[in-house]
Amino acid sequence: MPSKSRKLAETVGDENQDDASRFLQLFMEHERQLRFYLHQLLPDRDDVDEVMQNTSIVLWTKFAELEEEAGFIKWAYVVARYEVLMYRRQKARDRLILNPDLLTTIALEISETPELVQDYQHALRGCLDKLVEQDRRLILQTYSHGLKVAQLAEELRRSVQSIYRKLSGLRQQLARCVRLSAEH
């Protein structure tokens, strides 16, 4: 069990264990989708982690308000969107923050078509598999493991600029691949 889920389960205490079990099952089932959603709205992995944690707490505290378990992910997207907006207000001085109207538009489009997010995730996994091992590792180290470009440049004994150029090219390649996969 992931540590966040374990911490969440510990906060449950003596409350209804059935609700906790149902919540954890739904949360774990949709955690990747929710994290992917947050990655669309926030530029930094650490920001995603922090908002993901806040969102999971809100989801648990309001779980009794969820009317149908089938609507969990749409409900979770709404909660996450509000958590992103609240987080943005706290970080208002950060120059990488999106305009609130654009953020709301992106969030609504994603939350209205949760199956589209799954399709893109599936396509992205397939496109990552098509990359050569060295390129795939570079992408994963940067975007999944959160290594900074300067660290990667030092480890790979390359210039920071060459890493940025390589990542830019790989992002464009992945974007084309995902678009083509989504069209089929």
Instruction: Transcribe 7-52 into DSSP letters.
Output: HHHHHHTTS-HHHHHHHHHHHHHHHHHHHHHHHHH-S-HHHHHHHH
- Identify the band that residue 93 occupies on the pLDDT scale cut at 50, 70 and 90: low
Tens of pLDDT, residues 29-73: 999 999 989 988 887 888 899 999 999 999 999 998 988 988 999
pLDDT digits (tens, 9 = 90+) for 141-177: 887 776 788 888 888 899 988 998 999 899 999 989 9
Given a contact cutoff of 8 angstroms between Cβ atoms, the answer to whether 77 and 110 are in contact is yes
> Is the four-CA dihedral 53, 55, 61, 64 of positive or negative sign?
negative
Query: Which region holds residue 141: left if phi is over 0, alpha if psi is between -120 and 50, else beta?
Result: alpha
Packing angle, helices 45-61 and 72-90, rounded to 10: 120
